[in-house]
Structure 1
């Protein structure tokens, strides 16, 4: 909602300056309104209300669980699930998509809680990770049937919950090979349902998975394929942006996540592999700085996410390397003086880089 308001303000400014005519301005405003995702304040409140209502239903069932006959318990759980899915489908058919998604969420929450309550009722043996796997399966089946974005996103969240529960159980549920399968299934759901939030969640969970696997197995070689894939995705976006956009429709985000993964791997290696050896840390730091500058040069002029990732990492590394090499030789006053000078120099660097990137972007747009 705030984004569309800002765009409309710019359209009005362009119209007042004569950059665009009134017909073009009207078409732009119409396009902004029709392409808006709809997940504004109303959507947020609908999802929040669904979570609270689901929690209330489950609390009510749990509070009276012992006094209910088993058949009544099962019927009640199934009734809430079906009411959520059918009620959501009804509201979506009436054009109230976010309200329908909220009903879907209530059903999905009830399904997960029902697994736990039925297991408790019949004293079924099992681990939390197994229950979450069943929960994921149920939500994944419902998501394509209902073409629900929120269920597709919920599948990714539940896959992340499975990862951490499997770690608590010693990893004996095979998360190392099972989670990539879940991520591929979630990616298919995100593509089919058009859930953009699910795409971001998948990318974040994939990055978390790589680092969890590296720490859990204590195998440094795991990082190299991740760095190669991340760097490769970034380069494809930087050098073949139209091709990647045609394949994925999400080129800028793919490039940004790849760039972020590459830099995270290098930072982790700097603090893990070279910890305690100043020359090694400095060499790794210069490699990180070089990658940051390369990111700015290759993609920063048109990809804001890459630009700000590069700025953040570059600033962090410059300050860290400065105080790693000379920090022990200066006192408190010297620390603040050096920090102030470094921050001012970084500000000058960012302002000049922004000016150059803006000029390059304008030249690129003007080119035929």
Structure 2
């Protein structure tokens, strides 16, 4: 909504300055109205309200759980599920895309709580990871049948809960997450494509980044880091050099390039801080590799991929300051260190300002090119 309002202001200014005529301005306004932002403040508030309402219902049930007969307990769980799923389907059939998703979310929360309550009631054996796995599976099936983007995103979040629970020492099947999470990710990618759950793509990308870190630190495995580095660089370069091809294949070239860029930097930073036995030389060497990759991101994709551009700025500035602290900061006093950092920050500001001008000029030339 905010983006659409800003674009309308720009259209009015272009029309006032004589850059476009009235007919073109009206067509642009109609196009914005027809392709408005579907995930606005109202959606966020509806989802937040659904989470709070679901938590309130579960708290009320849990507080009176022991006083209820078993049949009433099971009936309440099914009532929450059916009211959420059927109510959401009814609202969706009426064209309501906000409160239908909120009702679906309440049902998904109720399903997870139902697993815990039934397990406690009948003293079923199991652990948190197993419960989260069943919760994920049920939510995936519901998302598939109802074609709900919110349920797809929720299933990925629950898969993250499963991943966190899987590394607990008392988990009976600790290492199953090593293959279950990749299998789930492939299924989730297909579900995202089928349901057109655009927001869920970000949740899945974050889940995979967390998965790489968990596998490395839990199993002390460097192989997955090299695999993530190669995959990240491949996605970044594919977006930078062959963006139309990647977009035709996936429909999400900019996002894949940005997450690939972040994955490559994440791996390099893990290599930089993971083992200090090689001394400061290794940290500085990898630090220069991080800076080189950040500059490559600005040079290749900064003019068209804002996520890469601002990520590269942040990584470049933080890494420069870190290298300054590691090399210069240990050799000079406090006053000298602050003086050095102050000068570096000013130089970084000059670098960012000049780079912004160059990238904006390059982006403008690309947009007006025939």
TM range (shorter): over 0.9
Query: C-alpha distance in 1, partners of 2:93/2:8?
Result: 30
Q: Per-residue deviation at 1:172?
A: 1.9
Asked whether the 8 Å contact 1:39–1:98 carries over to 2, the reply is no
Partner Cα separation in structure 1 for residue 255 and residue 239 of structure 2? 9
Report Cα offsets for 1:329-353 as digits up to 9, x if no partner.
Answer: 2112111111110001011111111
Q: How does 1:67-106 map to 2 (within 5 A)?
A: 67-106=67-106
**Distance in 2 of aligned mates of 1:42 and 1:364:** 35
> 1:274: how far off?
4.6
**Structure 2 regions of 5+ residues with no counterpart?**
none
Change (3 A) 1:38 1:365: closer
Per-residue deviation, 1:37: 3.4
Match of 1:215 in 2: 217
Equivalent in the alignment of 2:284: 282
The runs of 4+ residues in structure 1 deviating greater than 3 Å are 273-276
2:210 equivalent to 1:196: no
Gaps of 5+ in 1: none
**Cα distance, 1:179 vs structure 2:** 0.8
Q: Per-residue deviation at 1:273?
A: 3.3
Matches within 5 A, 1:1-368: 1-168=1-168, 169-170=170-171, 172=174, 174-274=176-276, 277-368=279-370
CA distance in 2 between partners of 1:64 and 1:280 (Å): 59
Which whole-Å deviations, capped at 9, do the CAs of 1:16-45 have from their partners, x for residues lacking one?
A: 112122222222222222222332222122
Deviations along 1:249-270, one digit per CA (max 9) or x if unpaired, are 1111100000111011111111
Counterpart contact for 2:4–2:37, Cα < 8 Å: no
Measured after TM superposition, the shift of residue 99 of structure 1 is: 0.5
TM-score by length of 1: 0.96
Moved more, 81-90 or 65-74: 65-74
Task: Name the Cα RMSD after superposition.
Answer: 1.4
In structure 1, distance between residues paired with 2:49 and 2:233: 41
Q: 1:359 Cα deviation (Å)?
A: 2.1
TM-score by length of structure 2 reads 0.96
User: Distance in 2 between the 1:267 and 1:84 partners?
Assistant: 44
My pick for the range that moved more, 72-81 or 202-211, is 72-81
Contact 2:85–2:103, Cα closer than 8 Å, also in 1: yes
Following TM superposition, by how much is the alpha carbon of 1:275 offset from its aligned partner in structure 2, in angstroms?
5.5
Q: CA offsets, 1:230-255, max 9 Å, x none?
A: 00000000000001111111111100
Q: 1:43 to 1:186 in 2, by over 3 A?
A: same
Aligned residues: 368
For residue 192 of structure 1, give the secondary structure of its aligned residue in structure 2: helix
Mapped partners of 2:367, 2:22: distance in 1:
24
